[in-house]
Amino acid sequence: MKKELLQLYKNKKYLIKNRLESFKSLTEDQKFKEFLFCLLTPQSNAQKCWEAVEQLSNLKEFNINNIAKILKTKTRFHNTKAKRILKARETFPKIEKLLENNNKKVLRKEIAEIVNGYGLKEASHFIRNIGLSNNEIAILDRHILRNLKSLKIISEDKMKNNKHYLETEEKFLNLAKSLKIPPDELDLLFWSKENGEIFK
């Protein structure tokens, strides 16, 4: 499977690198949209979540009813997530102040603690999607865990707690090093392997 992975990387390397590069030049509004996106993605379809974010950004009145109406057809747990989205405007300025921290693991921990609806995975996702991950952290989403399990690097594809997350992250980072594929690129490679596209 590693051989197939390396071949796939060779084929998609250019597109993956371009995608990651595009994350580094986002406007403040685009960063806020990524912040909302990562609030919506838990246990939901990523493409539908992004559609919801696009619709949310066009709302004339940003209130709980309008938000919930959009989320109802796009994401699971729409009522809970609607409350989180409403609060996001108030939380985001606090997050922006933290982003200058060059220690990505400390930055992630701080974001996960401040944002209601974020854990280590969502905070990692947000940091990567605004071009700040620097290949130092991993988004241990279902697609990564499934691939790690099929490579026999982990035996179970569910995260128990933060300690387990950090241990599994180390295994993912070591795999990336052994394959000579930067971790951020390996993430998008696993995603495209499962979904046939390079998304976010």
- Fold identical between 2-23+138-195 and 27-129? no
What is the C-alpha separation between 82 and 93, in angstroms, rounded?
19
Domain ranges of the chain: 2-23+138-195, 27-129
Please give the average pLDDT of every successive group of 10 residues along the chain, which has 200 residues.
Answer: 90 95 94 97 92 94 94 94 94 94 96 96 97 96 92 91 96 97 96 82
Q: What are the residues whose beta carbons fall under 8 Å from the beta carbon of 32, sequence distance 6 or more?
A: 88, 92
pLDDT given for residue 69 in this prediction: 95
Question: In the prediction, which pLDDT does 32 show?
Answer: 96
Nearest to 131 by CA among 22, 48, 32: 22
What's the pLDDT score for residue 195?
78
In a 13 Å sphere around the CA of 165, the CA atoms on its Cβ side amount to: 18
Q: Domain spanning 2-23+138-195: which CATH class is it, in words?
A: mainly alpha
pLDDT reported for residue 158:
86
Question: How many other β-carbons are positioned within 10 Å of the β-carbon of residue 146?
Answer: 15
**How high is the pLDDT of residue 185?**
97
CATH architecture group of domain 27-129: Orthogonal Bundle (1.10)
Q: What are the residue numbers of the active site?
A: 121, 141
Integer Rg of the chain from CA: 17
